[in-house]
Structure 1
Amino acid sequence: MWRYEKRLQYPVNISQTNPKMAQFIISQYGGPDGEAAAALRYLSQRYAMPYEKGKAVLNDVGTEELGHFEIIGAIVHQLTRNLTPQEIEDSGFGPYYIDHTTGVWPQAAGGIPLNACEFQSKGDPITDLFEDLAAEQKARSTYDNILRVVKDPEVCDPIRFLREREIIHFQRFGEVLRDVQDRLSSRNFYAFNPAFDKPQARSGKTDS
């Protein structure tokens, strides 16, 4: 489906460890608005998308989100490698360390593990695309929150890149939504059941 070049979409080169910072950023690895959930959402929704342009965008963005997942994993890894026991204890990283050592594991900043119940693949293009637009904005606002509390320029640089890509994805899904709406002859947002809005025929029966 794609060619993997074995390099990050955007470079990550962090020289100073910071496990407390890693606990914030890991939310974009396995949190409710993170990159793993995004990739699963779009790559699942593409199967039911009836139009080729929409299917292509879902496939492209979903694949790119896997690359973003990899970038976040690299950030978390570089922020937590070679920690001393004292650094682990002082930073509050201990609970995570006890369960995962310094392995990168998909969870939210609050410790809740990745949960597929936090996103939808509904099978209706309008429903799915509105979810996708909201998802990109939620991811963008999460990156905004990270940039408010993280000041290390080596970390902020790739985070800013990822934030910019969320904005581009929002724009792409907006284009697809307009294309899908233009294709619906009924213009009532139902791709497969326009009869829902038609008056129902009377049976001719009367109440006794």
Structure 2
Amino acid sequence: MFRHQKELQFEVKVDRPDPMLARQIQEVLGGQFDEMTVMMQYLFQGFNCRGEEKYKDMLMDIGTEEIGHVEMLCSLISQLLDGASPEDQAEAAKDPATAAIMGGINPQHLLVSGLGGLPTNSNGVPWNGSYIVASGNLLADMRSNLHAESQGRLQVARLYHMTKDEGVRATFRKMLARDRYHQYQWMEAINELEEKNGVVVPASFPPEAEKESQPEAYEFWNLSEGAESEEGPWATGSAPDGSGEYVYIKDPVAKGQVPNPEIPDTSLHHDLTRKKVFSK
């Protein structure tokens, strides 16, 4: 059960309207790494969580908080659009000074939402459910959550430097602080799950099940010009789980065969002869 509380989690108050900034903020509301994405991602992971209740509760707690962040951003966008009108956009085409202020307004803020936030990114592309990850594997999902919070916080930090509006910046600082804490939460959960089950997903398919393919799990194939990639810890030393030693393959050689596919039936109109391209 969800219950809406009228007060926002944090105060949202802008110094002055800024339709261009409102358009830019749409990216962290309805873009790929936005508040809508993490809201839906955490909630669906929580809805479908099986097993230890503490993980479900954490997912639901943070997912519910993200609902509040979506509302905060909608309020922020609405305040930045206060006073905007179709006439303003028409006027912007005439006067360079007005254009500097109003010329970047998102037409959908006027035509579609009536001066409110939209479930779209900064270019008007609708939010997409394929952005979210909810696989049912806790470690895989927590790693995806850490990635989402990292990208989202990065974008808010970039927006922070795109405005001098102290009211907007105050809201951003709250979001940056919460996104930092959420990264801590996912890192703690990831560490705990790795200690329980190991660092590789899924833990239920162990290295020994790979049988003759096990050596392939430790080889770094150098497939670019130069050998600088050998200098990284990913190319020498032990695997994080201690199951093997890395091997750097400086000049890798293909181990497979040349494909020799059958020519399709003529009714498929590939316009190819029945003659084999390669001989066995």
TM exceeding 0.5: yes
- Which one-letter code corresponds to 1:33 in the other structure? F
Question: More displaced, 5-14 or 130-139?
Answer: 5-14
Match of residue 193, structure 1, among 199, 204, 225: 204
- Which one-letter code corresponds to 2:42 in the other structure? Y
> 1:125 is matched with which residue?
138
Q: Alpha carbons of 1:116 and 1:9: their partners in 2 closer, same or farther (altered >3 Å)? A: same
**Structure 1 residue ranges without an equivalent (≥5):** 202-208
Q: Distance in 1 between matches of 2:173 and 2:208?
A: 45
Q: Alpha carbons of 1:175 and 1:49: their partners in 2 closer, same or farther (altered >3 Å)? A: farther
Q: Distance in 2 between matches of 1:66 and 1:154?
A: 21
- Which one-letter code corresponds to 2:56 in the other structure? K
Shift of 1:53: 2.5
Q: Distance in 2 between matches of 1:12 and 1:194?
A: 48
Per-residue deviation, residues 25-51 of structure 1 (Å, max 9, x unmatched): 121211111111111000111223533
Match of residue 113, structure 1, among 121, 126, 130: 126
> 1:34 is matched with which residue?
34
**Structure 2 residue ranges without an equivalent (≥5):** 93-101, 213-280
RMSD, aligned α-carbons? 2.1
> 1:63 is matched with which residue?
64
Q: Distance in 2 between matches of 1:68 and 1:143?
A: 12
Report the identity percentage. 25
Q: Alpha carbons of 1:55 and 1:156: their partners in 2 closer, same or farther (altered >3 Å)? A: same
Q: Alpha carbons of 1:94 and 1:28: their partners in 2 closer, same or farther (altered >3 Å)? A: closer
Aligned length: 199
Q: Alpha carbons of 1:179 and 1:51: their partners in 2 closer, same or farther (altered >3 Å)? A: farther
Q: Distance in 2 between matches of 1:124 and 1:196?
A: 18
- Give the structure with the higher percent helix: 1
SS of 1:82's partner is: coil
Per-residue deviation, residues 87-138 of structure 1 (Å, max 9, x unmatched): 3343232522234332321111122111111221111111111110010000
Could you tell me the TM-score, scaled by structure 2's length? 0.65
- Which one-letter code corresponds to 1:27 in the other structure? E
Q: Highest relative contact order (Cα 8 Å, sep 6+), 1 or 2? A: 1
Q: Is the 8 A contact 1:25 1:109 kept in 2?
A: yes
Q: Is the 8 A contact 1:49 1:124 kept in 2?
A: no
- Which one-letter code corresponds to 2:188 in the other structure? E
